[in-house]
């Protein structure tokens, strides 16, 4: 029983961490209408799973699960159903209970369905002003431009820009083919293809094409191609730690397209991963969110996920989703 309880507790921790990741991603959208429906559904599914696991844990521990549903709260009560009163008094009633003003027994009563908390007092003014969204005041770094022809910017290779960058800087990569292996070891760097992933190509024969060795970063809009087909240890992207976001990339020909090491928890979003030996590999303590990716023509398998990592991996609408 203790082993099963420990497994449930680990599963709960994973679900809560994945839910936090999704909620963090949602907070990056300025308008709620821009949030993908898949993300909203994933959040809802995780909330249900968390409630289910908590109930199972409560059963093991012999404690009652939290009440469900939670009371519905109304700040103000007025009109025909609730007596008018002053003094800001409150009352909590349960299903089908008749209620009246606890501060004074004057006035009409009402029947409410479901737990309700009522606060007596003056109602708010009609048509209140909507709340204002807080400005996005996250610190921004510099923007460095990489152009193999030096038509724009001062860097001819991505590695030169990484060496010159400060944590948090953005590196915009102009169209071209960059034959270099990249090591990202500075937190917060963004490497973004400027011109469409089919026109911004990074390829290498020595080592992984991209090695991620820091806490947080972002890679967007690149073709990432491994040219060394002899050494089966070389990946297109090797995520050794932290949270790397990889989005809208074409990942080709590695021993592994994306490898997620123990402790790493990336966000792999809307990429194409193909013609590798295996598409995505997640080690036993790896985790992360894998959403909207297309995996095909990988020689051995599309997914290679350690059984111990399965509870820590969230896969949403990948194709094919095996």
Residues 296 and 158 in one domain: yes
For 58-62, 139-143, 214-218, 222-226, which range has the lowest pLDDT when averaged over its residues?
139-143
Chain centroid offset of residue 271 CA:
15
Neighbours of 252 (CB within 10 A): 21
Report if residue 165 sits inside a domain.
yes
pLDDT at 73: 44
Residues 180 and 37 in one domain: no
pLDDT at 81: 39
Is the pTM higher than 0.75? no
- Pick from 60, 58, 38, 40: which is nearest to 50 by CA? 58
User: Is the confidence at residue 116, as pLDDT, over 60?
Assistant: no
User: Is the confidence at residue 302, as pLDDT, over 80?
Assistant: yes
Residues 108 and 218 in one domain: no
Average pLDDT over residues 269-281: 95
Residues 164 and 238 in one domain: yes
pLDDT at 112: 41
Residues 154 and 294 in one domain: yes
Indicate which CATH number applies to the domain containing 255: 2.160.20.10
Residues 274 and 233 in one domain: yes
User: Is the confidence at residue 235, as pLDDT, over 80?
Assistant: yes
pLDDT at 230: 64
Report if residue 128 sits inside a domain.
no
Residues 189 and 271 in one domain: yes
Residues 160 and 274 in one domain: yes
Q: Given its phi and psi angles, is residue 202 left (phi above 0), alpha (psi -120 to 50 degrees) or beta?
A: beta
- Residue 242: what are its φ and ψ, rounded to 5°? 70, -165
> Which pLDDT tens digit goes with each residue over 172-183?
999 999 999 999
Average pLDDT over residues 293-313: 89
Report if residue 138 sits inside a domain.
no
For 64-68, 77-81, 308-312, which range has the lowest pLDDT when averaged over its residues?
77-81
pLDDT at 68: 53
Q: What is the mean pLDDT of the chain?
A: 78
User: Is the confidence at residue 132, as pLDDT, over 50?
Assistant: no
For the chain, what's the residue count? 322
Residues 101 and 19 in one domain: no
Report if residue 18 sits inside a domain.
yes
Report if residue 68 sits inside a domain.
no
- Residue 161: what are its φ and ψ, rounded to 5°? -65, -40
Instruction: Tell me the residue range of the domain where 84 lies.
Output: 77-119
Question: What is residue 319's DSSP assignment?
Answer: B
Q: How confident is the model at residue 198 (pLDDT cuts 50, 70, 90)?
A: very high
> Which pLDDT tens digit goes with each residue over 16-66?
887 887 887 777 776 676 677 667 777 888 888 898 888 888 887 877 655
Residues 175 and 312 in one domain: yes
Report if residue 269 sits inside a domain.
yes
Residues 148 and 250 in one domain: yes
**Domain count along the chain:** 3
Residues 32 and 98 in one domain: no
């Amino acid at each position: 029983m203790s082993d099963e309880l420990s497994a449930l507790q680990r599963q709960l921790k994973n679900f809560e961490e994945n839910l936090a990741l999704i909620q963090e991603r949602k907070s990056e959208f300025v308008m709620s209408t821009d949030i993908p429906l898949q993300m909203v559904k994933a959040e809802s599914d995780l909330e249900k799973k968390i409630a289910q696991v908590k109930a199972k844990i409560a059963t093991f521990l012999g404690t009652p699960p939290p009440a469900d549903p939670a009371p519905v709260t109304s700040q103000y009560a007025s009109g025909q159903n609730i007596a008018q009163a002053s003094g800001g008094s409150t009352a909590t009633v349960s299903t089908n209970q008749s209620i009246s003003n606890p501060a004074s027994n004057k006035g009409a009563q009402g029947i409410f369905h479901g737990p309700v908390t009522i606060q007596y007092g003056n109602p708010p003014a009609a048509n209140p002003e909507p709340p204002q969204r807080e400005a996005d005041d996250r610190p921004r770094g510099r923007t460095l431009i990489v152009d193999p022809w030096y038509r724009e910017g001062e860097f001819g290779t991505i590695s030169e820009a990484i060496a010159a960058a400060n944590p948090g800087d953005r590196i915009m990569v102009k169209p071209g083919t960059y034959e270099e292996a990249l090591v990202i070891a500075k937190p917060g760097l963004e490497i973004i293809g400027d011109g469409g992933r089919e026109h911004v190509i990074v390829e290498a024969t020595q080592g992984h094409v991209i090695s991620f060795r820091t806490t947080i970063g972002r890679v967007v809009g690149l073709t990432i191609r491994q040219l060394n087909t002899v050494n089966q240890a070389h990946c297109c992207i090797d995520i050794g730690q932290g949270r790397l976001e990889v989005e809208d990339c074409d990942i080709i020909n590695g021993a592994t397209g994306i490898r997620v090491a123990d402790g790493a928890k990336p966000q792999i979003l809307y990429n194409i991963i193909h013609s590798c030996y295996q598409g995505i590999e997640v080690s036993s303590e790896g985790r992360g969110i894998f959403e909207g990716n297309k995996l095909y023509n990988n020689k051995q398998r599309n997914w290679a996920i350690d059984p111990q990592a399965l509870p820590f991996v969230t896969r949403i609408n990948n194709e094919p989703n095996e």
